[in-house]
Amino acid sequence: DVKVTQSSRYLVKRTGEKVFLECVQDMDHENMFWYRQDPGLGLRLIYFSYDVKMKEKGDIPEGYSVSREKKERFSLILESASTNQTSMYLCASSFSLVYGRDTNTDTQYFGPGTRLTVL
């Protein structure tokens, strides 16, 4: 079974702190994703990565950065946490599928989530 783990289930930080959220997958997936989930807004993509050291901005990258130094690990960084970054953060991973020149993602597997509160 695919396993995606996240470093913390619950996290409380203060405004202005630097926050690291880590995600590890054990299935040698090329793609890794960071989402945040807020009531009424659903899941929104922050960043994704399709290979080591590669990253792409999602829909809401402002205030976040990411790091992927190893294939199995994808880190989300809040450079200076703010109260509007209080949310549930979900990490996911998937294989890439190749359709001619295009690539796309196979089934996404999610971690258990990190509930971040910024005071």
Partner 1 sequence: KQEVTQIPAALSVPEGENLVLNCSFTDSAIYNLQWFRQDPGKGLTSLLLIQSSQREQTSGRLNASLDKSSGRSTLYIAASQPGDSATYLCAVSGTGNQFYFGTGTSLTVIP
Residues that bind partner 1 (CB under 8 A): 4, 31, 33, 35, 40-43, 45, 48, 50, 56, 58, 90, 92, 94, 96-97, 99, 102-113, 115
Q: How far is the CB of 89 from partner 1 (least distance, A)?
A: 10
Closest CA to 36 of 67, 3, 6, 72: 6
Q: Residue 75 or residue 114: which is nearer to partner 1 going by CB? A: 114
Q: How far is the CB of 19 from partner 1 (least distance, A)?
A: 19
Q: Residue 30 or residue 118: which is nearer to partner 1 going by CB? A: 30
Q: How far is the CB of 80 from partner 1 (least distance, A)?
A: 26
Enter the tokens of residue 87.
């949310």
User: Which residues are CB-neighbours of 102 under 8 A, at least 6 positions away?
Assistant: none
Which helix (H) or strand (E) is 104 found in, with range?
Answer: strand 102-105
Q: Which residues pair with 56 in a beta bridge?
A: 48
Q: Residue 15 or residue 104: which is nearer to partner 1 going by CB? A: 104
Closest CA to 94 of 104, 80, 79, 83: 104
